[in-house]
């Protein structure tokens, strides 16, 4: 891929066009790319170096921790434990935010991340991902630390995901379009493979775990039934595609159009997915590509978070499809 633009070059070009940027985001993204390379290497040999299976522990979410979950989280922490610009790390696998020294008082950013999305796919060699979100934080003058980084998704500086599949790709946005980079094994560089991605306003595919159908509110049940009806004028029925990896399913929707849904349930209306390091960063990416991220009732990135591990329902994808879900949920 001679002449291809690397991730670092791409970000630096953008920073040169925005004099207020100081190179800090390019540094953070370079470290995230290195973490992606490390995780890709671990996944490629996981069956050979005793990285498959459970650790026997349960994380703050009440979920069983896989060995690769733990290893991926450690890779993120190691990459930023000496950072001078990232003050705080917030991870699905850590109960409390990790404040970085010496950056605790000088760092300008908080990094939220799901180190290994789709853990149920590990032992069957199916797609996995890492999701990340970067927020600016205020100087530590108010005394409290949590409010400094609990901000709506609309205030993200950058966000994206790394997808580990047939190839390893990194997709990110800094609010100026969505760009995809593919890891080139020979150079160990992420090289630009798609720029300014735009998704269709409607799709033909939906992604959801229909095993939970009877737990959903009536509006969501009726919407899924609607998608299955035959009507050539509206492009129905839609096809179902579901991998069990959020990043992989959203990536398909980003490129092809359609919907990913993880609704709240009648008994658990808050949903399962985490706002700050799953729903918000993916919604930031999708909205930059012309789509929409919603709870079914309100825009994801307008929500003021209350806790680092807050959960929300998620409806994300092509704008017209998401708006149709919202209409069914109101009825």
- pLDDT digit string, tens, across residues 165-209: 999 999 999 999 999 999 998 788 999 999 999 999 999 999 999
Strands 259-262 and 205-207: parallel
CB atoms closer than 10 angstroms to residue 161 = 27
Average of per-residue pLDDT across 150-166? 96
- According to CATH, what is the number of the domain 205-330? 3.40.190.80
How much is the pLDDT for 32?
97
More confident residue, 40 or 62: 40
**pLDDT tens-place string over residues 36-56:** 999 999 888 876 556 666 776
For the cut 50, the answer to whether the pLDDT of residue 112 exceeds it is: yes
Instruction: Please state the rounded mean pLDDT for residues 60-81.
Output: 87
Q: What is the pTM of this model?
A: 0.93
pLDDT of residue 19: 54
**With 50 as the cut, is the pLDDT of residue 144 above it?**
no
The Cα 78–Cα 31 span in angstroms is 10
Comparing C-alpha atoms, which of 12, 328, 32 is closest to residue 159?
A: 32
- Both tokens assigned to 71: 């290893």
pLDDT at residue 142 above 50?
no
From the number of C-beta atoms within 10 Å of its C-beta (0-12, 13-18, 19+), residue 291 rates as buried
Angle between helix 7-16 and 24-44 (nearest 10): 170
pLDDT at 68 over 80: yes
Domain boundaries defined on the chain:
7-194, 205-330
- Does residue 282 carry a pLDDT above 90? yes
Cα(138)–Cα(84) distance, rounded to whole angstroms?
15
Q: Does domain 7-194 have CATH number 3.40.1180.10?
A: no
Contacts of range 177-185, beta carbons closer than 8 Å, 24 or more positions apart = 177/288, 177/289, 178/254, 178/285, 178/288, 178/289, 179/10, 181/6, 181/7, 181/10, 181/33, 183/36, 183/37, 183/40, 184/1, 184/4
Mean pLDDT over each residue of the chain, to the nearest integer? 90
pLDDT on residue 145: 55
pLDDT of residue 146: 59
Q: What is the CA radius of gyration of the chain?
A: 19
Mean pLDDT of 219-232: 97
What pLDDT score does 143 carry?
A: 45
Contact 273, 209 (CB under 8 A): no
């Amino acid at each position: 891929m001679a002449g291809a633009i690397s991730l670092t070059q791409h970000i630096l070009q953008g920073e040169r066009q925005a004099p207020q940027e100081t190179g800090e985001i390019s540094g953070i993204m370079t470290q995230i790319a290195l973490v992606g390379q490390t995780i890709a290497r671990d996944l490629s040999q996981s069956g050979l170096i005793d990285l498959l299976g459970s650790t026997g522990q349960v994380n703050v979410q009440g979920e069983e921790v896989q060995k690769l979950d733990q290893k991926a989280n450690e890779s993120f922490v190691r990459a930023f434990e000496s950072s001078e610009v990232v003050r705080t790390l917030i991870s699905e696998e850590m109960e409390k935010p990790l404040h970085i020294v010496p950056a605790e008082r000088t760092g300008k950013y908080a990094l939220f991340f799901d180190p290994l999305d789709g853990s149920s796919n590990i032992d069957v060699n199916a797609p996995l991902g890492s999701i990340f979100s970067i927020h600016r934080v205020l100087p530590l003058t108010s005394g409290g630390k949590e409010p400094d980084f609990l901000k709506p998704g609309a205030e993200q500086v950058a966000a994206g995901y790394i997808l580990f599949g047939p190839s390893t790709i990194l997709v990110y946005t800094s609010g100026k379009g969505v760009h995809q980079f593919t890891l080139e094994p020979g150079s160990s560089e992420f090289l630009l493979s798609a720029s300014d991605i735009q998704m269709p306003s409607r799709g033909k595919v939906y992604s959801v775990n229909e095993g939970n159908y009877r737990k959903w509110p009536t509006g969501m049940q009726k919407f899924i039934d609607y998608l299955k009806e035959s009507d050539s004028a509206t492009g129905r029925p839609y096809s179902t595609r579901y991998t069990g990896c959020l990043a992989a399913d959203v990536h398909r929707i980003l490129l092809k159009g359609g919907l990913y849904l993880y609704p709240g349930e009648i008994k658990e209306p808050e949903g399962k997915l985490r706002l700050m390091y799953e729903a918000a960063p993916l919604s930031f990416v999708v909205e930059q590509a012309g789509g929409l991220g919603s709870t079914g009732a309100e825009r994801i990135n307008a929500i003021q978070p209350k806790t680092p591990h807050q959960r929300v329902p998620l409806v994300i994808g092509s704008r017209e499809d998401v708006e149709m879900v919202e209409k069914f949920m109101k009825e």
